[in-house]
Structure 1
């Protein structure tokens, strides 16, 4: 046991967070879709708070890499929507009966995210679409730790540099407001914070590995693998919960 967690639990979670961080940095989404179902299998009691704490660290490391690709005028409506979604979701999370109840919700959000990633619909990037996507992302992320897909849908047809920078910026902001919203409702636990602290080396290593790969690996090459792993993790979680 390490700080109350089995070594196997930490090892499995470490691998999931590492993979999620790597994909998040390279593609602008992936941490929640890859890591949330795995952690829900082995340590559901730390979700979603632990993953949101880790998301802040991943966001800082990702946004700082390419700030010139961030379009500042697009941030306010997306930020506002994300904050609204986080507050609504935190009030709903306070009513969840038990940690295990989040498992099917996470699986459903991952499947939804995969679907949104695959449909290929082009949505114009406007104040309305940014606010709407931000609100849905805030709901998803604060409840389950999986919040990137709505923004990924908006930016999927943009250049890789712009898409990744914008998604990671919204991701970072979303993690911060989700943590604040959960804290307001008293849903942040010491256990989740300790777990997140134990997973921080995985975040650091993932960001380090992603640095030399970012200029060589195309987003399109990562996407099928990331979606496939996310689907496998969500399906395993759903089977275990049924």
Structure 2
């Protein structure tokens, strides 16, 4: 048995999925975490949760660097404690959760993330709301790699650059928390790191390809398409494990 426990065909399929997710991220501004979690999990359970979280860290690092000058520092301070708490709770739960139940949880969280993103709910960006959003986001991000929709909902009244910069900063810090927590409960090790290194070029290539393609896409159609595909993928993952 190989270290990564994947066939060439499975690895090639995973590479294509990650490329497509990174491409969607570049075109629409999101998509990598929403898409690759359920799709990769349907290829093989070894992708969940470690490799997914590690791959998301690749793109959040670049986004955090690009948006570093437009960060709402107060928003970061008020939410990051919640992210830490949510991360610890998720790590404690997932440490003893079987793969089948983990797949159910991932699918459910992706559906929740899509629902939050399209809900159009307006919340005041108070200290309690930001902390609560952090708890939910930390829990979701540790298990699925999708941890920013709750915070985005609370900060939606912020100007675009400030919103993106703040989300990128919190996203990077929270994904580092998730990685440390998953290492601590033995959900990230040499196998997960090896898989992520094999697929990391797909993230970079997909994101690079999106730079020239983005102006050719109508975001009015692309955004709903990513939401729809994410929801269908998550539902498919749930039904596959029934």
Asked if Structure 1 and Structure 2 have the same fold, meaning a TM-score greater than 0.5 normalized by the shorter chain, the answer is yes
Aligned mates of 1:159, 1:16 — CA distance in 2? 32
Structure 2 equivalent of residue 184 of structure 1: 184
Change (3 A) 1:167 1:19: farther
Q: Secondary structure at the match of 2:86?
A: helix
Aligned length in residues: 241
Q: Secondary structure at the match of 1:122?
A: coil
Structure 2 equivalent of residue 129 of structure 1: 129
Tell me by how many angstroms 1:218 deviates. 7.2
Tell me by how many angstroms 1:232 deviates. 1.8
Structure 2 equivalent of residue 10 of structure 1: 11
Runs (4+) of structure 1 exceeding 6 A deviation are: 214-218
Structure 1 equivalent of residue 112 of structure 2: 112
Question: Tell me, which stretches of 5 or more residues in structure 2 are unaligned?
Answer: none
Alpha-carbon contact 2:141-2:147 (below 8 Å) kept: yes
Structure 1 equivalent of residue 146 of structure 2: 146
Alpha-carbon contact 1:44-1:99 (below 8 Å) kept: yes
Normalised to the residue count of structure 1, the TM-score between the two structures is 0.88
Normalised to the residue count of structure 2, the TM-score between the two structures is 0.88
Question: Tell me, which stretches of 5 or more residues in structure 1 are unaligned?
Answer: none
Tell me by how many angstroms 1:154 deviates. 2.2
Structure 2 equivalent of residue 43 of structure 1: 44
Matches within 5 A, 1:1-242: 3-25=4-26, 27-96=28-97, 98-212=98-212, 220-242=220-242
Q: Secondary structure at the match of 2:173?
A: helix
Alpha-carbon contact 1:45-1:99 (below 8 Å) kept: no
Change (3 A) 1:37 1:138: same
Supply the RMSD in Å over aligned alpha carbons: 2.3
Change (3 A) 1:80 1:214: farther
Tell me by how many angstroms 1:118 deviates. 1.5
Aligned mates of 2:213, 2:160 — CA distance in 1? 13
Tell me by how many angstroms 1:239 deviates. 2.2
Change (3 A) 1:165 1:214: farther
Q: Secondary structure at the match of 2:122?
A: coil
Deviating more after overlay: 22-31 vs 109-118: 22-31
Alpha-carbon contact 2:73-2:166 (below 8 Å) kept: no
Tell me by how many angstroms 1:192 deviates. 1.2
